[in-house]
Amino acid sequence: MKKLLAVLLAMSMILMCLSVSFAEEKKKVTWATWAVSEEALKPTYMSMVETYMANHPDVEIEVVTWPYAQYKDQLIIAAAAGNAPDVCHVKAEWIPEFLEMGVLKDLTNVMPQSLKDDYYPNILASATIDGKIISTPWFNSPYALFYNKTLMEKAGITEVPQNWPQLMEYARKISALGVDENGNKIYGYALTNSKNEAGTGHNFLPHMWVHGGDLLDEAGNVVIDSPMNVEAFKEAQGLYMDEITPNGLNGQDARNLFAQGVIGFYYDLEMAANVFVNASPKGKEFTKEFDAIVVPAMDGPNGQGYAIQHHFLVFDTAKEDAVIGDLLEHLTGKVVLQILYDGGMGKMPNRVSVTELGIFSNPDNELTKTFVESLATIRSFPTSNGAFMLTDEKFQDALASISVGMDVEAVVKSLDAEIKSLYGQ
């Protein structure tokens, strides 16, 4: 009996040692996101890493978090001190600050080839600088063009606009309706230009793109003062001066007016549909009166809207490249996008295979289908230079100036000089 007990004790000790050894051999990766600091979001975001660890018992993911208001600053402090988390969740416009610090790992050989191949090319291109992948696009919120079916019908319009000139033509036809039954002015289009809301200036970029213009050329040079951009601003001036769009409009005003049924066309995020329904006096019945299409191009139906994107960064102090690459594939894949959807935080994917999920591919959900279709053509804002965020106010000023009749060419020339100054050019 004593011998049996001794054997059992020895085996128990061996198993304990093996267990300790196994625990010590776990590969550890730290992941930072502000979402875990918010009680409403924490269960959803924690389940993302818990799901991964359940399938990878040899890996331990430590979640790091700070409140949103402190998050970016804390990441910068940690990166400067050399003790940053391995992977972090960021908004696209934050990336330039970390690039300037020189603390990011080149992900070209960290991301699995299967992951790189699965991205929409335009999405992966937005995360690539000088041939190096500097971030992993996670999810995005693309813009598409909402339209009011009832107003189109009243204006005698029988099909959605097939190109940009047709959109402008239809907007004017809807404006010609005058007022609704309550005496409210009807506008064919909504182009924000408020000076009291961030982002309204950047909303104008798709107008420049559709005319062949841009903020920067491929070499990063400011090219505002171009014939294409002048044409875009002249068109916008006509929209304001002819009251096709309200003047001084911010994003919330635009959503409310669309919900009231007095805006014909207006581009926004998919989540705005819920705002429309909640703000409309018709409630859920209003869903029958609107739909969306991909923002049209100058010569066809599939043009370029833009997307608000969230990314993952990997700091150069990270060691477990193979685990990190696998984790990035998990976080951007079907399981996690489904988790977000089930948690009431549905986001649009950046990977082609993920759009096969029923939440994105349901043929009966025409609205979501449109936003998925937009993924192939959307553009990201040029946030790789930190000066970009400062240009929003300059665009707001320019739009405000042309809306009251100032000379467009002079305004564009002044805008060009101001933005070149911001970029040090």
In the numeric block, which tokens belong to residue 134?
């500097």
Per-residue pLDDT tens digits for 200-223: 899 999 999 999 999 999 889 999
Query: SS3 for 409?
Result: helix
**In the predicted structure, residue 171 carries a pLDDT above the cut 90:** yes
Once rounded to an integer, what is the mean pLDDT over residues 357-382?
87
For the whole model, what pTM was predicted? Answer: 0.79
More confident residue, 405 or 93: 405
Dist. CA 371–CA 376, nearest whole Å: 10
- Of the listed ranges 1-10, 185-194, 197-206, 235-244, the least confidently predicted one is 1-10
Provide the 10 A C-beta neighbour count for residue 22: 11
Check: CB of residue 298 under 8 Å from CB of residue 81: no
In the numeric block, which tokens belong to residue 333?
């894949």
- DSSP string for residues in 111-131: S-HHHHHHB-HHHHHHTEETT
Q: What is the pLDDT of residue 8?
A: 47
Query: SS3 for 301?
Result: coil
- Of the listed ranges 104-113, 194-203, 320-329, the least confidently predicted one is 194-203
**In the predicted structure, residue 4 carries a pLDDT above the cut 60:** no
**In the predicted structure, residue 20 carries a pLDDT above the cut 80:** no
**In the predicted structure, residue 362 carries a pLDDT above the cut 90:** no
Per-residue pLDDT tens digits for 97-154: 899 899 999 999 999 999 999 999 988 988 998 899 999 999 888 899 999 999 999 9
